[in-house]
Chain A
Amino acid sequence: MKKIVIVLIAILSMANVFAQVKVVTTTTVISDFVREIGKEKVKVDYICRGDQDPHFVEILPTYMLKIRNVDLFIKVGLGLEGWAQQLIDGSRNSKLHVVDLSENISKREVPTTKTDGSQGDVHPFGNPHYWLDPENAKIMVKEISEALIARDPANAAYYEKNTHEYLHRLDAKMKEWQAAMASKRGKKIITFHASWIYFCERYGIVAAGYVEPKPGIAPSPSHNADVINIVKNNGIKLILMENFYSDAAPNQIARLTGAKVYKTATAVGGSPQAPSYIAMMDSIIKAFDGI
């Protein structure tokens, strides 16, 4: 009898050791960070694929099912995932802990006056595309680490070690990126959507104009003409855009100006060149080769 009890206790302890923290993230960038920190001690899934526009994700019951039995739901915040709350409600998961990674981010483009539809899809709490600055990625990684430790304190040392190692790798890559971008400081570019402010600030790039007349508003012929003038007058050589947007208008601008259109993934898995956050940033930095 005593032996059976010991065996049972051992099995239960083993079960606890192998229990994974279940996490669902809104974007693949966050799930990449979770995987780097939690490794085999987490089970992570995401909602928005890397090649999808995170502003517009359909409310699907299968997404609710993904969230139904998880411990953590981690999001970018700042209104990027307007669809997230409907999924959380639909999941009926009353034990779910929601982590908003934007809390400690130094936010940009926070409106100081009342926002309305005349300004396009302006995010009322600030521009949410902060993960494109690797310094912000470090803040996100630390927040995720804290959330995993709070959920699974028994493995705190493991998460801290992985976090430290990942941040170390990120720091090394940031030095590379900084060196590659040093000669590009002050260069002007055109971006499709107003999603590059954090990236541009980090590397001293100037977004001189947008293909969209206003955030979320489809390009128009008259606005294209304005952008063409900006490109010509400033000698701009690069139109940078997310690969889920239509490249019809950027290609037209490029044909008439000689600028280069560079379509890139801004989320992990968004293209074969972006299997991880670090690889994704590598491919974005490559856009500036030769300009």
Chain B
Amino acid sequence: MVKHGFMLCLLLAITVWAQSNVNPDISLIGTTGISTNFTKNDPDKGKLVFTDPEVEMLVEGYLNPFAKAAAVISYEDGSFGVEELYAHVVNGLPLDMQIKAGKFLVGFGKLNTVHPHAWPFLQRPLFHQIYFSPDGFNDIGANFSFILPFESFYSGIDIGVFRGDALTHSISAEDTYEAAKQRRGNNPIGVARWNGFFTLSDESNFELGVSIAGGLLDKQAVSVTGDTSLPSVIKALNFCYTGLDFKYKYKPDAYTSLVLQGEAILNNRDVVRSYSDGVNTIQNLDHISTTGAFMSIDYRFDKQFSVGCKYDFTYGLIGDTPGNTTLGNDSKNKTMGYEGWIGYYPVEETLALRLGFQSLQFSVADGPNPDPRNTVQLQMIFSLGPHKAHPF
């Protein structure tokens, strides 16, 4: 009896030990806040709006000595979703290659691969919203990563192939997204990024990146004659994004840092334009070449506080319905944004309180400019569990 009891205790102890040692790391990031706006004619002007809480639960661990896996389950806008789910082979492959496969934030630019809670600012850059989606460039595919053989500085290249559906958001509203995906069909897109990392001194580092993405964005039935009795012609609408990014960080001591960061995109894409010949509405395939960029500066002082500002610019109108034929991606309309913030981090990254102000100003070619949209937001972010430090 005593022997059985001992064995039972031993088994229980082994089980508990195994549970705590084998389980993956689980961490949870929560974001909540309140905002108000000072936009002319807005019915909510001056009212406090409690934003829906957002949650990211990260589960990650090693599968074996060569590979890791991670899942990010998110709760956003009242629904759960899989934000990221991937396996990552980190060593043991020829040419020191790393392979990441699954659904994840695509390495186009520096910022897109970083989850928003780790950004110094509160608002997603405007060109992300126009050219990617409201949630950035997050797609299903595989990425192959290499370190280039330079001894004096770090340089890497990433080459990926993705399903391409994420960018469908840039030409379709939520309610037309599934239809746009159907039109697009199975046509993977390609993404590549080169980055160089330079240590300037013990206190300062600089990273430079160049990205490119291209492929088929949409297929549309185009009425080239305007005669509805004649069949439409299916046209392929292609795109090519080129991006440039940089980040400079000066950190003279444990309590102070200055981060200067910026990205720019050059968008070349086919669009459908409609015009009337007086009788019929004729559609033509056109090509637009537009840009977007942001630059931010964040100064961390006294360990617990930061202050910063960001300038944002993009072609297209934020808040407009995206589409191949709408103003959302037109080359004639522009949005500019100015953002400022104060951050308070009581204990490292476990809790952050950020007060931010953003002013959006619009420039519309055909018609009156919408009123500037001014928003004040107080955001609280907490991090629970063994959330790992973010790389440079």
A interface, CB within 8 angstroms of B: 49, 52-53, 56, 58-62, 64-65, 68, 82-83, 86, 89-90, 92-94, 117, 120-121, 216-218, 244-246
Dominant SS at the B interface? loop
B residues near A61, Cβ cutoff 8 Å: 154, 156, 197, 207, 391-392
Known: A216-B348, A218-B303. A245 touches B254 (CB 8 A): yes
CB distance from A144 to the nearest CB of B (A): 24
Q: Mark B341-352, 1 if CB is under 8 A from A, else 0.
A: 000001110100
CB distance from B301 to the nearest CB of A (A): 12
B interface, CB within 8 angstroms of A: 66, 68, 90-92, 96-98, 147, 153-154, 156, 197, 199, 202, 205, 207, 251, 253-255, 303-304, 346-348, 350, 384, 388-392
Known: A216-B347, A244-B254. A89 touches B389 (CB 8 A): no
B residues near A62, Cβ cutoff 8 Å: 153-154, 197, 199, 205
Question: Is the pair B390, A92 in contact by a Cβ cutoff of 8 Å?
Answer: no
Chain B residue at minimum C-beta to C-beta distance from A59: B391
Chain A residue at minimum C-beta to C-beta distance from B195: A61
Cα of A245 to Cα of B254 in the assembled complex, Å: 8
A residues near B197, Cβ cutoff 8 Å: 60-62
A residues near B384, Cβ cutoff 8 Å: 117
- Taking a contact as CB atoms closer than 8 A, the residue among A53, A82, A117 that contacts B254 in the complex is A53
Known: A52-B254, A68-B147. A58 touches B154 (CB 8 A): no
Cα of A184 to Cα of B96 in the assembled complex, Å: 55
Cα of A208 to Cα of B199 in the assembled complex, Å: 42
CB distance from A160 to the nearest CB of B (A): 31
CB distance from A46 to the nearest CB of B (A): 12
Chain A residue at minimum C-beta to C-beta distance from B302: A246
A residues near B154, Cβ cutoff 8 Å: 61-62, 64-65
7 closest Cβ contacts across the A-B interface? A61-B154, A59-B391, A92-B96, A61-B197, A94-B91, A89-B90, A94-B92
Cα of A105 to Cα of B276 in the assembled complex, Å: 83
- Between-chain CB contacts (< 8 Å), 28 pairs: A49-B202, A56-B254, A56-B389, A59-B392, A60-B205, A60-B391, A60-B392, A61-B154, A61-B197, A61-B392, A62-B153, A62-B197, A64-B147, A65-B147, A65-B154, A82-B388, A86-B388, A89-B90, A89-B91, A92-B90, A92-B97, A94-B66, A94-B91, A117-B384, A120-B347, A216-B348, A218-B303, A218-B347
